[in-house]
Structure 1
Amino acid sequence: MAKEVFNRHENKFLINHGTYHRFQEQLLYYMDMDEYNKTQEFYTICNIYYDTKDDYLIRNSLSKPNYKEKLRLRTYGVPKENDEIYLEIKKKVYGLVNKRRTKMKLKEAYNFAATGMKPEVKAYMNRQVMNELEYMFKIYNLEPKLYLAYDRKAFFSKTNKDLRITFDTNIRTRRYDLKLESGDYGEKLLEDNQWLMEVKAEKSIPVWLSKLLSENKIYKTSFSKYGVEYQKMLLRNQQRKGETKLCLNHYLIQPQFIPRYL
């Protein structure tokens, strides 16, 4: 059974094409490629992000609170109506990322999100996560807001399976036609020469990895795919209105709401 609950620290790095090629070759001494990448160079992850009508979840996330959460529908490649997908909650509490997800049929997930009423729990579903999703839909009144996809290459440590490094490229988004089965297309989020690298570990990273990061002059950054897209959308909207300066303070929310199921 695929893992459905994750607790880990995630560090992000923006690197260029040359650094990506050099660094991923060095990783092969310490890490193995993901099973998906043994038959193809990249595999595609497609997501639909849900938010409130006034974009509360992403606005709250950009204000960098101690607690934040997102809800998304995720699939690997373009699905059909009866394919199994993941509906997942991603939370971050004082720097620790917690991801909880459950398998569902695509049409079941759409109906769950539209009505807020969970379907009859099937054998392939995680009952506890289903309850948490139902509660989140209830308190936030969520709706689909963003399609976001990217191509990924991933590595797992040969000695510690809790250590994972991913490289994402060709990140594309759209705020229309918000159906996963509609196809994998959208506007590019990053420049062609940019890659998003993530180091995911339950505990501290090993010395060899710290050394490789230092030798390659790779430095940690703060980056959210959904967050960057949202900020770009605000800037485009302001430019269309003839405004030249983006002030995010108007959009950020400071009060924090921590649901009881945490």
Structure 2
Amino acid sequence: MAIKSFKRYEKKFIINKEQYNNLIPRLLQYMDVDEHCKSGKNYSIYNIYYDTENSDVIRNSISKPYYKEKLRLRSYNVPSNLNDKVFLELKKKINGIVNKRRVVLTLKEAYNFLELGIKPTSNDYINKQVINEIEYYLSKKYVKPTVYIGYTRKAFFSKEDRDFRLTFDSEILTRRDNLSLESGFFGNNILEDGNHLMEVKILGAMPLWFTNILSELQIYNTNFSKYGNEYMKYSFNQQNNVTNTRGIKQIC
């Protein structure tokens, strides 16, 4: 098992195809492509988000509280067996600062922990701490696999400040059935064709050169949560289905 911990600010932008095509060449003057983008290609990220029966986690999240947290199971490949490595992550946001705690497990260890309450074993103090945090979270909330969200990503790091990172997510596919990472990459795209979700991840202020480029290309900050947008679309469709069902009953 291995652990990583991240603490940073995140800013989000929705950009169209033209803005993206104009932005990337400008970025390459100041940033390097992430090593995971082999030969310049995007890499993929797959997630299962855990929530309560009544969607309490995401409903609280979109109300923009001072403190919020989400639990998700993540992989960077579609697992082919229970020994494949996955990331179990507890993402917290406190007054705009993102703190992500995660531990690397086998898929079997993750399922045993999430479904059966069997804690993974580790001799490392920090690993134990994260596992205990997730165990406490699970004791407070009866959560279950709720939504799959997968996407492709291109990422960049600043040449001068490795803490300044940009990611561009596209083809953000979501579904509420076949809720396992092994099921593969498919679902409904919650982004318009040609659009990208750009996320700025940084510990402090954005570089001046970057803010100047954003201004020139008329790229503006927005609020966008992948799970939040999925939930709002899902809720809207559910309400429409109820309304249509009632209408049919009345006509009959």
Question: What amino acid maps onto 2:27 in structure 1?
Answer: L
Query: Which residue number corresponds to residue 185 of structure 1?
Result: 186
CA distance in 2, matches of 1:42, 1:72: 22
Question: What amino acid maps onto 1:176 in structure 2?
Answer: D
**Which ranges of structure 2 fall in alignment gaps of 5 or more residues?**
245-252
Query: Which residue number corresponds to residue 112 of structure 1?
Result: 113
CA distance in 1, matches of 2:68, 2:100: 12
Residues 2 and 127 in structure 2, CA contact (< 8 A), matched pair in contact too: no
Pair 1:152-2:153 in alignment? yes
Query: Which residue number corresponds to residue 254 of structure 1?
Result: none
Query: Which residue number corresponds to residue 12 of structure 2?
Result: 12
Residues 91 and 101 in structure 2, CA contact (< 8 A), matched pair in contact too: yes
Query: Which residue number corresponds to residue 71 of structure 2?
Result: 71
Deviation at 1:203, TM superposition (A): 0.7
RMSD after superposition = 1.7
Query: Which residue number corresponds to residue 249 of structure 1?
Result: none
Pair 1:54-2:54 in alignment? yes
Change in 2 beyond 3 A, CA 1:171/1:30? same
Pair 1:200-2:201 in alignment? yes
Deviation at 1:117, TM superposition (A): 3.4
Secondary structure of the structure 2 residue equivalent to 1:161: coil
**Which ranges of structure 1 fall in alignment gaps of 5 or more residues?**
244-262
Query: Which residue number corresponds to residue 250 of structure 2?
Result: none
Q: Which has the higher helix share?
A: 2
* Identity value in percent: 51
Residues 116 and 138 in structure 1, CA contact (< 8 A), matched pair in contact too: no
Residues 45 and 75 in structure 1, CA contact (< 8 A), matched pair in contact too: yes
Query: Which residue number corresponds to residue 36 of structure 1?
Result: 36
Alignment size in residue pairs: 243
Secondary structure of the structure 2 residue equivalent to 1:242: helix
Secondary structure of the structure 1 residue equivalent to 2:120: coil
Over alpha carbons, which structure has the higher Rg? 2
Secondary structure of the structure 1 residue equivalent to 2:72: strand
Question: What amino acid maps onto 1:24 in structure 2?
Answer: I
Residues 47 and 149 in structure 1, CA contact (< 8 A), matched pair in contact too: yes
Change in 2 beyond 3 A, CA 1:47/1:122? farther
Alignment TM-score, normalising by the size of structure 1: 0.89
